[in-house]
Amino acid sequence: MTDISKEALPLPRSFLSQDAIQLFYRLLAVLLICAVLAVLNDSFLSLGNILNVLRQASLTFFIASGLTLVVLTAGLDLSVGANVALSACIAGTVIHTTGSPVLGILTGLACGGIVGLLNGIMVTALRIPSFIATYGMLWVLNGLTYWYMAGETLHGFPAGFRQIGSGYLFGLPIPVYLLLVFLGIGTLFAQRTIWGQEIYAIGANPVAARLSGIPVARRLLLVYAVSGTMAGLASIIFLSRLNSAEADIGESLTLPAIAAVLIGGTSLFGGVGTVFGTFIGALILTLVLNGMNLLSVSANWQPLVTGIIVILAVWLDMKTRRRAQ
Amino acid sequence: MREAAVVAQPNPLQRIPGVAIALAALIVLFGAIAPGFLTPANFSNVLVQSTILTMLALPMTLIIMSEGLDLSMGAVLTLTSLCVAIVSLSTKSMLLGLGAGVLVGAAFGTVNGWLVAILGIPPFVATLGTLGMAQGLSLIVSDGQSVVGIPHSVRDIYSATLLGIPVPIVLALVTYAAFHGLLYHTRFGSYVFALGGNREALRYAGLSPNKLLIAVYALGGTMAGVAGLLMTARMNSGHPTAGLGLEFDAIAAVAVGGTSFERGNGWLLGTLLGVLAVGVLRNGLNLISLPSSVQVASVGVLVIVALFLDGLRSRA
């Protein structure tokens, strides 16, 4: 009986301070990695490299921020990378045929959002476990993208459009401004709106959430649609930064996005985590990969390191939470 | 205790319609629209091409029965295939190559099992992490290049015949028989049913669910090693993306075959029929000259439909 009542208790209300400690550790990790890299390599602290890290981190963050909301509901979206690829290819085609970047951007966002909505429908209406539904979606999207592109590469976009991904404003890359905007929106939405708090509640205890009158299915649909739309946004940034689109651009994006969410302290079991944490996670991951790059470690090592980081992050998270309880 | 553990076993008769109807429907469909589909040569082709998938889907059935999942299988297969290629190239020995592949596969499987059982990491994330690791190691050992010039003894495995039957088919049949015996006629098999159906019962019987889980995942990795030999023989080379996404075909075969993701029910014959359904689907689409991208998307749709139907059935 005691066991049951212990399990049924929600996390202690003091978990905010617990979160603060966790965040402190992560910031410490950022500083530590920076210090090590600065000692090992002279060019790490150059302005060019720091801006590069920020821009790279912002790309990971766009995908990971939407994913954070999904993980907060104890779900997972494995289709984000493939979604970026499809959205980028479709948006690129629209820009090429109509010549209008605005139309292309809207198409990319809409494509990402629709894919996310379909994920949400599979999870809510068809009640397929999220990791397997979005994994199926990954391969459907992969197939569609390769079929649509038929081995072609799209390139050469209007100069104005390319500014979004590669331009500067007051010395900072434009994606960094977008990062700050979405970091603010994401944090406000998750922490300061009723919908955001309902998302935490669904992740912490779906049954209790339903019994207290939260429209669980509609919130889940929203969360997956947001995750898809953020993948759509990332596709636009990619498109304008690379100035080209190919079918395979999404293949190496999913694992880093999941890594950023998990390093950032969002729990796979739902209900715990913040969008700001995900930003720190994206920063840590980017610093590690950037550091390997500076120390001339071959890019072939990146998936191995990212995989190890994912597992370490989950393991550490589970360990600290077990100790906290 | 053994009886208690077997309770979760499904009634096979209930399962037969779904996957068998799907397979028959696909055969009728492609027989009607795909030229050259209903020929003995093509039939043998489908069977030979399904052998690698069989070797992944059978252990995947056991893993899914334990309420787990192994997303790393395709990447591990890629790595073991490269190991087979590299070792057989340098030692000129097919058996040493196979040994290396099986060792590496078993090591990855054991790590998967350890992460899931001992550290308690959810299987889909643990194996997603090891997927990245295996993919990275494949790139590192091959430096992103194909490994070519492997000995004939490896290549011949794929093209040789035994009593008129292609060797890959013989290997797949032997594997099926072994898994059938293991799952339905040994204590270990009953325990696997209990892993997904009733883990408490295992504990009360004084058994360690953790050790069993590790064994189930290790079996998956080992089979990926064996399949790696076939893959290297089939491609006559080791390639750093050879097995990309094969785990998804394996999951598709298991899902179509009626093994459920949440109740610890499994059915090996269903998985075998599921493998054939995936094989026929890919082969038929290929014959009506649709690119492999469409095949990939169709397998994705197949999985989602199968899971949806499974969900309906479990609620009914």
CATH number at residue B180: 1.10.3470
- Residue A35 to residue A38: CA distance in whole angstroms: 5
Are the CB atoms for A93 and A200 separated by under 8 Å? no
Give percent above pLDDT 70 in chain A.
94
The one-character DSSP state at A11 is P
The SS3 of residue A279 is: helix
CA distances from B97 to B28, B101, B160, B230 (A): 41, 6, 18, 11
Q: Is B16 exposed, middle or buried (0-12, 13-18, 19+ CB in 10 A)?
A: middle
Cβ-count burial B112-128 (b if 16+ within 10 Å, e if not): bbbbbbeeebbbbbbbb
Q: Which helix (H) or strand (E) holds A244?
A: strand A244-245
Min Cα distance B143 → chain A (Å) is: 7
Q: Which residue of A has its CA nearest to B69?
A: A132
The domains of chain A are located at 14-324
Question: Is B128–A258 a contact, with Cβ atoms under 8 angstroms apart?
Answer: yes
Would you give the distance in Å from CA A295 to the centre of its chain? 26
**pLDDT value at position A324?**
66
At A210-238, the pLDDT tens digits run 899 999 999 999 999 999 999 999 999 99
b/e burial code for range B288-313 (CB count within 10 A of at least 16 → b): eeeeebbbbbbbbbbbbebbbbbbee
Q: Which two tokens stand for residue B2?
A: 């053994």
Mutation for A interface: B116, B131, B135, most A CBs within 10 A: B135
pLDDT of the residue at B309: 77
Q: Is the pLDDT of residue A79 over 90?
A: yes
Amino acid at A41: N
B144 vs A contacts (CB less than 8 Å): 300
pLDDT category, B314, cuts 50, 70, 90? low
Residue B298, token pair as written in the block:
């169709």
Domain A14-324 CATH class label = mainly alpha
Q: What is the mean pLDDT of chain A?
A: 88
Overall domain count for chain B: 1
Q: Which chain A residue's Cα is nearest to B240?
A: A300
Domain around B150: 2-315
ipTM of the complex: 0.81
Q: What is the mean pLDDT of chain B?
A: 86
Name residue A169's beta-bridge partners.
A172
Cα→Cα distances B288→B33, B34, B37, B260, Å: 8, 5, 9, 32
Mark yes or no for CB contact B122/A268 under 8 Å. yes
Buried b (16+ CB within 10 A) or exposed e, A17-44: ebbeebbeebeebeeebbeebeeebeeb
- Checking if the pLDDT of B3 tops 50, the result is no
What distance, in Å, lies between the first and last C-alpha atoms of chain A? 18
Choose among A66, A52, A98: nearest CA to A235.
Answer: A66
Query: Distance, in angstroms, between A87 CA and closest chain B CA?
Result: 16
Confidence of residue A243 (pLDDT cuts 50, 70, 90): confident
The span from the CA of B221 to the CA of B17, in Å, is 31
Give me the residues of B, 280-309, that contact A with CB < 8 A. 291-301, 303-304, 307-308
Contact B303 A132 (CB under 8 A): yes
Percentages (nearest 5) of helix, strand, coil residues in chain B: 75, 0, 20
Give the mean pLDDT of B177-185. Answer: 92
Q: B81-100, pLDDT tens digit by residue?
A: 999 999 988 888 888 989 99
Asked if residue A300 has pLDDT above 70, the reply is yes
The residue in chain A having the minimum alpha-carbon distance to the alpha carbon of residue B111 is A311
